[in-house]
Amino acid sequence: MIRVDYLTCPGDSGRGIGESAMEVIEVKSGKKIEFIDVSSEVRRALEKMSAGDGLCHLYVPHTTAGVTINENADPSVVRDILDALDRLVPLSGNYSHAEGNSAAHIKSTLVGCHQAVPVKGGKLSLGTWQGIFFCEFDGPRSRNLYVEYAPSSAEGR
Amino acid sequence: MIRVDYLTCPGDSGRGIGESAMEVIEVKSGKKIEFIDVSSEVRRALEKMSAGDGLCHLYVPHTTAGVTINENADPSVVRDILDALDRLVPLSGNYSHAEGNSAAHIKSTLVGCHQAVPVKGGKLSLGTWQGIFFCEFDGPRSRNLYVEYAPSSAEGR
Amino acid sequence: MIRVDYLTCPGDSGRGIGESAMEVIEVKSGKKIEFIDVSSEVRRALEKMSAGDGLCHLYVPHTTAGVTINENADPSVVRDILDALDRLVPLSGNYSHAEGNSAAHIKSTLVGCHQAVPVKGGKLSLGTWQGIFFCEFDGPRSRNLYVEYAPSSAEGR
């Protein structure tokens, strides 16, 4: 069972015009390895921050997870990406890190923990087939995804 | 035959001082898999947007393409990168996605669809050997590359 | 012996309120391939730039290096990442680039040359286990890491 919760970042209230804004999306993964589509939650975060024109930065503060943007229409695409990552970086191998989750750390560096998407009129400029995925590589766990909206200017709000 | 067209993003005209700016570069790929050097087009987009000091964000709104920064002096570098990606993620494999372009989706996640380059005095702060490449993984197609200039401040324009 | 030097970017002095800021961290790598933890140097750069709320952009102006964020508590994590990259992209192979450092170029594209981390109250919003690593793939060399602080607004300083 996957639950995606939406939390307000403490201190976000009372922002002035043109001020920075960050929201935190709480992601509860249900499997060892999975991609969780968080596009709707990111859209909701942008609405809450009264986004205008600018950039939506996505940041994962974890070392065994990541964030990627790929097709969210056919779920077999995500399955193929997960399989390919497992093939390239096997769960068990000749790893030295004692905690046994080296594969997750390696995948995190390959996929990355930061993405950014242009925002126009408060809307994500995602392509037709693109969705935003939180990438769990060592679950199940409670995770956070930071959504930072950077207006390009005071007028951009 | 590769054609790189340059389009103005609708709605970009009439920007106020310090306002956000986005241009769209249209890239026509000519092969199934290739990297297309778009450095000059990105520079032209920055000029058009009267860029000053800030960040140049590059965003690919496609799920079977990407954007990377690497050497554009010796074309054999790009050839080696393309070959390595093909070796790591073979075109044909035990994929479940029915459209037959799973390898392209996987490469897109590995390479990424967003990059950002610092801009100083309107110029890209690329290193001596760096060029910006649109990465086609499932061509030939007509593609877009979003170039978003984010001034660090109103004074940064 | 690894030395991380900290240099002020020429022209950074005399910035006005809300103006963009960039500092350059000079990294001297001591090995062919290694990750160098630059978290403290990035923090120092942010202090120097009087960072408030915004984004810290990290940019590597080299084509045989990169920047990643991963665990800096147990050094065996970095060792496993380096080993995995070497396994995926062997130093010697059937490469066409004559300089013999194709593996480094390929790793640079896989890991990436740009990252960004949210900044709150002048502090990096890194996760508990996260550190920022300069990734040397073709050392030993003198390298630069650009640290660009983008305040989300004039009020964000």
pLDDT band at residue C147 using 50, 70 and 90 as cut-offs:
very high
The whole-number pLDDT of residue B83 equals 98
Buried residues in B29-64 as b, exposed as e (16+ CB within 10 A): beeebbbbbbbebbbebbeebebbbbbbbbbbbbbb
The whole-number pLDDT of residue C64 equals 98
Look at chain B and count its residues.
157
Is residue B18 over pLDDT 90?
Answer: no
Q: Which residues of A touch B105 (CB under 8 A)?
A: 70-71, 77, 80-81
Q: Look at the alpha carbons of B138, A127, A54, B13 in this order and tell me if their dihedral is positive or negative.
A: positive
The residue type found at B153 is S
Are C102 and B80 within 8 A, CB to CB?
yes
Question: Chains that contact C by 3+ CB pairs under 8 Å?
Answer: A, B
The whole-number pLDDT of residue B6 equals 53
The whole-number pLDDT of residue A153 equals 64
pLDDT tens-place string over residues A70-120: 999 999 999 999 999 999 999 998 999 888 999 999 999 999 999 999 999
pLDDT tens-place string over residues A46-72: 999 999 999 999 999 999 999 999 999
Question: What average pLDDT does this structure show over B100-124?
Answer: 97
Pairs of residues, one from chain A and one from chain C, whose beta carbons lie less than 8 Å apart: 108
pLDDT band at residue C151 using 50, 70 and 90 as cut-offs:
confident
Closest CA–CA distance from residue A125 to any residue of chain B (Å)? 8
Q: Where are the alpha helices (DSSP H) in chain B?
A: 39-48, 75-88, 102-111
CB atoms < 10 A from the CB of A87, how many? 13
Supply the pTM of this predicted model.
0.91
The whole-number pLDDT of residue C13 equals 39
Q: How far is CA A128 from the centre of its chain?
A: 18
Tokens linked to A89 = 């970086």
- Please work out, in degrees rounded to the nearest 5, the angle formed at the alpha carbon of residue C71 by the alpha carbons of C69 and C73: 140
The whole-number pLDDT of residue A12 equals 40
Question: Across the interface, which of A57, A61, A116 has its CB nearest the CB of C130?
Answer: A61
pLDDT band at residue C11 using 50, 70 and 90 as cut-offs:
very low
The residue type found at A100 is G
pLDDT tens-place string over residues B69-92: 999 999 999 999 999 999 999 999
Question: Across the interface, which of B11, B62, B88 has its CB nearest the CB of A127?
Answer: B62
The residue type found at B50 is S
Closest CA–CA distance from residue A2 to any residue of chain C (Å)? 22
The whole-number pLDDT of residue C29 equals 98
Best interface-test mutation with A: which of B26, B148, B153, B157 has the largest number of A CBs within 10 A? B148
Question: Across the interface, which of C16, C97, C154 has its CB nearest the CB of B74?
Answer: C97
The whole-number pLDDT of residue C152 equals 78
Q: Which residues of B touch A54 (CB under 8 A)?
A: 20, 150
Are C71 and A105 within 8 A, CB to CB?
yes
Question: What average pLDDT does this structure show over B10-17?
Answer: 40
Question: What average pLDDT does this structure show over C41-53?
Answer: 95
Supply the ipTM of this predicted assembly.
0.89
C-alpha B85/C-alpha B74 separation (Å) is: 18
Question: Chains that contact A by 3+ CB pairs under 8 Å?
Answer: B, C
